[in-house]
Amino acid sequence: MTLLAPPEIDLSDDFDAASVIDASFAAGDDAALRAAYDQYGSLVYSICRRSVDEASAADITQEVFLAAWRHRDRYHPDRGSLAPWLTGIARNKVIDHFRAVGREDRRVDKVRDNSTLEPVDELNASTSRMLLVDAMEALPERARRIISLAFFDDMTHVEISAQTGIPLGTVKSDIRRSLDKLRHGLGYDHG
């Protein structure tokens, strides 16, 4: 066995702990379940809290992680982050909750009536927005700055480069990598 020249050690934020947790979860390690809860528990609970009361949100969050763990073989890290998979389960649990309490709740009528799906539509939309918030916040600082200028100020690559002084090639590559990460963060890796 031959020892070759060691590379430079780079401990930058390119080491993506969330991706490691996702893969570890799929592999079925108990420690990964706790790590996944620590990573995504607040997101799942927050999504539930927007639709139901605190106690129900806690119950649903518990159900989400139990269901995810018991059916982890259905999660494929190559198709996206664990976050959209968990929030997809949460969405279904919240709708189930609506239905369970629906006889005394007008919201369930809207859920059942395909012509008026406001609660479900809003649940879907707010979930996507919250996933995007988290995915953008997970970007490295420079990339987050660049992608924010592109998204919120409608700036072109050239304009971002001129505004920030960041080389055009770097702007382009940061945006390309950021879009990759956003797709992964929202579970759009496979279209």
Partner 1 sequence: MTMADQEILEWASLAKTITDDDRQRFEPPGDLWSRIATEIGDTTTNGLDDDAIDNLLIGRADAEVVDLTQARTHRAKRGVRHQRRNLAAVAAAAALVFVIGLTLTGGESDTVYIAQATTADMPEPWTGEVTATVNASDGEVTLVSTNEFSSDEPVELWLIKPDLSDMHSLGLVELDGRETTVALPAGIDVTEFSIVDLSIEPDDGVPTHSGRSFVRGALEAL
Q: Which is nearer to partner 1, 112 or 176 (CB)?
A: 176
- Which range in 92-100, 103-111, 113-121, 171-179 contacts partner 1 by CB under 8 A? 171-179
- Which range in 17-25, 89-97, 113-121, 160-168 contacts partner 1 by CB under 8 A? 17-25
CA atoms within 13 A of residue 11's CA, in its CB half-sphere? 0
Cα 186 from chain centre: 5
Q: Which of 99, 136, 145, 159 binds partner 1 (CB under 8 A)?
A: 136
Q: Could you please report the per-residue DSSP string of 93-147?
A: HHHHHHHHHGGG-HHHHHHH-TT--HHHHHHHHHHHHHHHHHHHHTS-HHHHHHH
Shortest Å distance, C-beta 104 to partner 1: 25
Q: Is 29 exposed, middle or buried (0-12, 13-18, 19+ CB in 10 A)?
A: middle
- Sites of contact with partner 1 (CB under 8 A): 1-12, 14-17, 19-21, 23-24, 26-35, 37, 41-43, 45-46, 49-50, 54, 57-58, 61-62, 65-66, 69-70, 77-78, 125-126, 128-130, 132-133, 136, 150-152, 154, 175-177, 179-182
